[in-house]
């Protein structure tokens, strides 16, 4: 058999093997302008070097090992001859004062040495020179460093470099062999539930044909295992290389970890990492990634490769505790170590951000010009619509510009001038804005913000690690976000201005349809699986999450018996704004009381807002409280511990517990309260988002597209919240429970058409009949039991 060939660029090779020093995030990180200026500087230098100078010379060299061929390739910035000797020219653009440079940066020099070795081999020359050309990106002042090497010393140096890289590749190849062998007899770890086989075969076929699939499958089908298992088998069959399991919430990450663990118990060998947010992994009270403020940042790059290699070769699962243990042992930043390790594992469990967000995506996998055999499993995919809009939108507030200008006075006159220019541009827009104003484009503000970014990058470079005020640094990231999104503007965006709370104008770049941006990210991989218990109507989600016309779609019906649950619509009650008041709150409170009186147990009541919830709770406690009924309520901004304590109440309760919650909040999806832990969900209202500027812009945008704008902006997102809330009841085959939908609008055709097929037995009730109807249901359950 032919040996595998591993290809790596010269730059990636030296930056990986030879990186050293501290971790420091205080330098500028604006790639765009630096790249533009850098390219200009390269062309200028190359253009004036004369006819003997060859620019952008492609070079590659293959080294044979017993188990693999490693091909190193790249482009030398320039090659020229001088006094009969060949020289490799490596050009680097920097913002720093080049006259202060005492020697070339080690990885820059190493790049040039690699090119020198490859070219000297080609030309069969015994000696070759390396020239490092540093140019200031603003002044274009140049400084040169020169060294000469013999072929022999370059060869010894290069072989040592490549041997260090081969160590990683040798383990990777051996592991993949072991991994794939572990799948030869791997079977689905459970007896198939109804619908699971359909998902498994659909997902495997989708991956094998390199397409995308939308899977609507209700709670209880076992979507997580039904998507992970075929994806793992596809990797074993060579149909993919890495699995990305993407989630919106921490709880679903845990479910994915458990699914991989179960497969491992059945013989699978698979390396799985969960990427935790930097704040949750950081050893410090404040995440300041620089050697002055963080012990773990000091010398991080000197030790991190050894830390990653040991962790990678000795463990197969990498959760938060494991990462912290090894980071402590090697004295490295746990978050950066985690990202480095992710490159070498088989599956990555992470938040949507790490694939889709233009500001925090994993550049190691999804940077410019990078792609791979990735399989994307997108859990709770309905969440990606609003998350996508958020990730691909940006704004600039004139109030923030003025504050940044005030702070910049002590640091940079150039920055102050650039900020004043943007301030004037925004003030012009402010004069024309009342409530909100839709614009054709951001106009001159884009160029103004680009100049601000250039000045801020220059300032960060000049400060050499000295800190800027936090507010100014935050504004820097705001400018970066704005410019990133400005590059994406197309027909899927609406640019508009509105007045901020401080009376200053805000210019917004609002992504109304994130599908094209999401598609660009998914194109970096091979196949994508969107799945959720609430992807109805499916065409709506396809339109907002994919631009492909050949996507598959499957609908899996509920595996649970209809007779185990009762769904009723209260037709004599409403959550409409015009009806809100004591009389309606009293009616809703009465519905809740009569529902919980029919059977002792735990219930959740979901409201469209905190205010509505609090108003009804007050009426309920004042007029319907009973000694054997206990109420608890969700509060805004609950932390993880408070959330856990709230849920623990449902496990400990022996009487009747009523949890008052908010639709679309932390308790309306992704939680499992099985059996007697929850026997009823009462849903108040249709979940419509509040009327606001963005929702109205969405409505108008989709009306112009020829579809029902109200559906897209309000009804569909609202119904998703309703269905998610209802999904908290009946989690297993043995569960029994009730779902009460309290709003007259649920009885109308527009809403009936959005209910799942398995809700075909839904009935209607009134305040006068609800006790009798629920009582009959519970009596039937008791008789069966």
What secondary structure does DSSP assign to 67-113, as a single string? S-EEEEEEEEEEEEEETTEEEEEEEEEESS-GGG--S--HHHHHHHH
φ, ψ of residue 285 to 5 degrees: the values are -65, -30
Q: What is the pLDDT of residue 2?
A: 81
> Which residues does 293 contact at the CB level (< 8 Å), separation at least 6?
284, 286
Q: What is the DSSP letter of 762?
A: -
Start and end residues for every CATH 3.90.320 domain found in the chain:
5-176
Q: Are 632 and 605 in contact (CB under 8 A)?
A: no
d(CA 50, CA 67): 44
Helix extents (H) in 331-469: 334-342, 353-356, 363-366, 383-391, 398-408, 413-431, 445-463
Q: Nearest-CA neighbor of 686 among 645, 723, 732?
A: 723
Distance of CA 127 to the CA centre of its chain: 50
Q: Are 287 and 295 in contact (CB under 8 A)?
A: no
Start and end residues for every CATH 3.40.50.300 domain found in the chain:
183-270+346-391+515-555, 562-784
Instruction: Give the long-range contacts of residues 644-653, CB within 8 A, separation 24 or more.
Output: 647/671, 647/673, 650/602, 650/677, 650/678, 651/677, 653/602
The sign of the CA dihedral 166, 167, 173, 176 is negative
- Fold classification of 562-784 (topology level): Rossmann fold (3.40.50)
Q: What is the pLDDT of residue 602?
A: 97
> Which residues does 141 contact at the CB level (< 8 Å), separation at least 6?
98, 99, 135
Q: What is the pLDDT of residue 464?
A: 59
What would you report as the CA-atom Rg of the chain, rounded to the nearest whole angstrom? 30
d(CA 741, CA 417): 58
Q: Tokens in use for 617? A: 């709770």
For Cα atoms 333, 339, 340, give the angle at the middle one, nearest 5 degrees.
85
Q: Give CATH for domain 183-270+346-391+515-555.
A: 3.40.50.300
Q: What is the pLDDT of residue 311?
A: 98
Start and end residues for every CATH 1.10.275.40 domain found in the chain:
394-511
Q: Tokens in use for 348? A: 């990555």
Express the helix, strand and coil content of the chain in percent, nearest 5 each. Answer: 45, 20, 35
Domain 5-176 class, CATH top level: alpha beta
Q: What is the pTM of this model?
A: 0.92
Q: Tokens in use for 69? A: 């061929």
φ, ψ of residue 3 to 5 degrees: the values are -70, 150
Q: What is the pLDDT of residue 51?
A: 75
Q: Are 228 and 199 in contact (CB under 8 A)?
A: no
79 DSSP β-pair partners: 54, 88
d(CA 660, CA 285): 34
Which of the residues in the chain have pLDDT under 50?
Answer: 29-30
**CATH architecture classification, 394-511:** Orthogonal Bundle (1.10)
Largest CA distance in the chain: 103
Q: Are 72 and 121 in contact (CB under 8 A)?
A: no
Q: Is 313 left (phi over 0), alpha (psi -120 to 50) or beta?
A: alpha
User: HEC profile for 51-66?
Assistant: CCCEEEEEEEEEEECC
What secondary structure does DSSP assign to 206-265, as a single string? HHHTT-EEEEE--TTS-HHHHHHHHHHHHHHTTS-SEEEEEESSHHHHHHHHHHHHHHHH
Q: Are 536 and 215 in contact (CB under 8 A)?
A: no
Distance of CA 669 to the CA centre of its chain: 18
d(CA 722, CA 751): 11
Q: What is the pLDDT of residue 33?
A: 54
Q: Are 479 and 495 in contact (CB under 8 A)?
A: no
Q: What is the pLDDT of residue 359?
A: 86
- Residue 435 neighbours by CB distance under 10 Å: 9
Q: What is the pLDDT of residue 423?
A: 97
């Amino acid at each position: 058999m032919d040996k595998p060939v591993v290809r790596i660029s010269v730059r990636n090779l030296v930056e990986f093997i030879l990186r050293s020093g501290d971790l420091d995030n205080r330098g500028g990180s604006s790639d765009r302008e630096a790249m533009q200026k850098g390219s200009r500087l390269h062309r200028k230098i190359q253009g004036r070097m004369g006819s003997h100078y060859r620019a952008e010379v492609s070079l590659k060299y293959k080294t044979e090992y017993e188990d693999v061929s490693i091909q190193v390739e790249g482009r030398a910035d320039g090659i020229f001859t001088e006094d009969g000797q060949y020289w490799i020219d490596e050009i680097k653009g920097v913002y720093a004062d080049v006259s202060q440079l005492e020697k070339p940066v080690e990885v820059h020099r190493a790049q040039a040495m690699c090119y020198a070795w490859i070219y000297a081999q080609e030309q069969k020359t015994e000696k070759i020179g390396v020239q490092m050309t540093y140019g200031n990106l603003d002044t274009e002042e140049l400084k040169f460093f020169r060294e000469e090497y013999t072929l022999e010393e370059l060869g010894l140096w290069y072989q040592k470099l490549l041997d260090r890289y081969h160590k990683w590749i040798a383990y990777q190849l051996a592991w993949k062999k072991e991994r794939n062998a572990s799948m030869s007899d791997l079977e689905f770890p459970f007896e198939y539930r109804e619908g699971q086989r359909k998902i498994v075969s659909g997902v495997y076929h989708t991956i094998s044909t390199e397409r995308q699939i939308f899977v609507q499958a209700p709670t209880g089908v076992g979507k997580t295992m039904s998507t992970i298992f075929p994806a793992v088998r596809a990797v074993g069959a060579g149909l993919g290389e890495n699995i990305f399991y993407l989630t919106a919430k921490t709880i679903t990450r845990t479910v994915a970890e458990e699914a991989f663990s179960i497969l491992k118990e059945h013989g699978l060998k698979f390396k799985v990492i969960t990427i935790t947010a930097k704040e949750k992994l950081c050893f410090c009270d404040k995440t300041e990634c620089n050697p002055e403020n963080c012990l773990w940042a000091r010398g991080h790059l000197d030790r991190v490769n050894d830390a990653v290699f040991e962790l990678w070769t000795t463990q197969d699962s990498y959760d938060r505790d494991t990462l912290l243990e090894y980071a402590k042992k090697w004295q490295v930043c746990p978050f950066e170590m985690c990202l480095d390790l992710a490159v070498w594992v088989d599956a990555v469990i992470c938040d949507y951000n790490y694939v889709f967000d233009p500001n925090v995506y994993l550049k190691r996998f999804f940077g410019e010009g990078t792609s791979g055999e990735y399989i994307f499993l997108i859990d709770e995919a309905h969440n990606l619509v609003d998350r996508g809009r958020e990730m691909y939108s940006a704004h600039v507030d004139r109030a923030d510009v003025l504050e940044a200008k005030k702070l910049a006075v002590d640091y940079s006159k150039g920055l102050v001038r650039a900020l004043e220019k943007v301030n004037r541009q925004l003030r012009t827009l402010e004069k024309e804005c009342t409530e909100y104003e839709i614009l054709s484009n951001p106009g001159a503000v884009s160029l103004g913000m680009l100049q601000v970014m250039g000045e801020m990058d220059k300032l960060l470079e000049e400060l050499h690690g000295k800190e800027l005020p936090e507010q100014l640094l935050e504004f820097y990231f705001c400018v970066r976000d704005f410019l990133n999104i400005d590059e994406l503007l197309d027909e899927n965006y609406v640019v508009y201005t509105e007045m901020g709370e401080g009376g200053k104008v805000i210019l917004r770049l609002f992504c109304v349809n994130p599908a094209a941006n999401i598609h660009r990210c998914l194109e970096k991989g091979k196949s994508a699986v969107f799945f959720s218990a609430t992807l109805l109507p499916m065409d709506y989600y396809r339109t907002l999450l994919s631009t492909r016309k050949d996507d598959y779609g499957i609908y899996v019906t509920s595996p649970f018996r209809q007779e185990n649950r009762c769904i009723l619509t209260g037709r004599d009650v409403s959550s409409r704004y015009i009806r809100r008041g004591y009389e309606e709150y009293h009616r809703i409170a009465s519905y809740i009381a009569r529902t919980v009186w029919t059977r002792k147990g735990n219930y959740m009541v979901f409201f469209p807002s905190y205010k509505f919830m609090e108003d009804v709770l007050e009426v309920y406690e004042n007029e319907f409280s009973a000694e054997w009924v206990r109420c608890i309520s969700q509060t805004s901004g609950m932390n993880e511990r408070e959330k856990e304590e709230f849920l623990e109440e449902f496990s400990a309760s022996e009487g009747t517990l009523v949890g008052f919650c908010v639709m679309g909040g932390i308790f309306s999806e992704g939680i499992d309260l099985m059996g007697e832990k929850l026997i009823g969900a009462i849903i108040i209202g249709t979940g419509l988002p509040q009327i606001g500027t963005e929702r109205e812009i969405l409505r108008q945008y989709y009306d112009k597209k020829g579809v029902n704008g109200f559906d897209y902006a309000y009804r569909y997102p609202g119904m998703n919240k309703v269905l998610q809330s209802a999904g908290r009841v009946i989690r297993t085959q043995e569960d029994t429970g009730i779902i009460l939908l309290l709003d007259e609008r649920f009885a109308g055709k527009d809403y009936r058409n959005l209910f799942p097929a398995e809700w075909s037995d839904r009935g209607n009730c009134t305040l006068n009949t609800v006790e009798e109807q629920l009582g009959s249901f519970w009596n039937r359950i008791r008789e069966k039991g």
